[in-house]
Amino acid sequence: MHAVEITSAPSQATEGDRITIKAKVASPRKADRVQLQERQVDIYGNASWVTVRSRSVRGTARHTFTVVADGINREHYRARATYRQGKAAVSKRKGVTVWRWISLTNYRPYYSTYGISATPYSNFAMNGRQYIGWYTYSSYRAWEARYTPGRNCKAFRGELGVRDESNDGSRAIITLLTEEDQVLFESPVLTPGAVTKVSVSMARPYRFTVRAADVSSEGVHALPAIGDPFFLCTGI
């Protein structure tokens, strides 16, 4: 049996990344083709190895394949070499953890105050642009929603501001917190006509909280919001 091995592969990638996997074929002059195979599972739960890249060996021992990370949570690859005589050889598998951006609107809060909307259909305008995301709609001065990422997410991103329905001269602050009310990010004062983009790393918290406060002067009302809020997650 001739040998083939994967010599290099990333341990993790973000969905959509182009990743490079390198393989080495023993006795390349006797080999015919080298294939990169991915373990795939069909809708019935049946697993199989599917060839996603293939090329002629042509006497070359080392080969480089490029694929796009598009699996859910984890991908598994192996190399397979066929020979002009004898059986094909396969390498040990290599696993790649795949992270992907998941909208906050896909999570249901385990606690939420009145006046918050955050569903896949929660659209609103900030600074003249339409967003899907997390927003407030009541005349209260403070809002809070708590979520459970479950230690599966390592980053958060979004665009913070106040809805276009907010009064002129209104002001708001949005605070992102993790476990035990540890502040992950506190926005500057948010005002109409501008947004603050945030992208922060997290230590894979079990809990995640969004707090918003209307800090306008009396009689002036702000409606704080987060456009396109996403967690970077895997393992769910």
**Stretch 171-192: mean pLDDT, rounded?**
97
Nearest to 131 by CA among 139, 148, 119: 119
Q: Find the mean pLDDT for residues 4-25.
A: 97
- With a CB cutoff of 8 Å and minimum separation 6, the contacts of 190 are 160, 161, 162, 171, 172, 173, 174, 196, 222, 224
Give the whole-number percent of the chain exceeding pLDDT 90.
95
What is the side-by-side order of every strand in the sheet holding 62-68?
Answer: 4-8, 18-25, 62-68
| pLDDT above 60: residue 1 | no
Distance, in Å, from the CA atom of 114 to the CA atom of 213, rounded to the nearest integer, reads 13
Q: What does the mean pLDDT of the chain come to?
A: 96
Mean pLDDT, residues 161-168 taken together:
98
Its sign, for the CA torsion 62, 67, 71, 73, is positive
pLDDT in tens, 191-229: 999 999 999 999 999 999 999 999 999 999 999 999 999
Q: Which is nearest to 209 in space by CA: 131, 142, 121, 124?
A: 142
pLDDT 10s digits, 94-133: 999 999 999 999 999 999 999 999 999 999 999 999 999 9
For the beta carbon of residue 178, count every other beta carbon within 10 angstroms: 19
Q: Which amino acid is at 223?
A: L
pLDDT band at 235 (very low <50, low <70, confident <90, very high): confident
Q: Please choose, from the candidates 35, 112, 40, 118, the residue with its C-alpha nearest in 3D space to the C-alpha of residue 72.
A: 40
Residue-wise pLDDT tens digits, 41-83: 998 999 999 999 999 999 999 999 999 999 889 999 999 999 9
Q: Which pLDDT does position 2 carry in this prediction?
A: 58
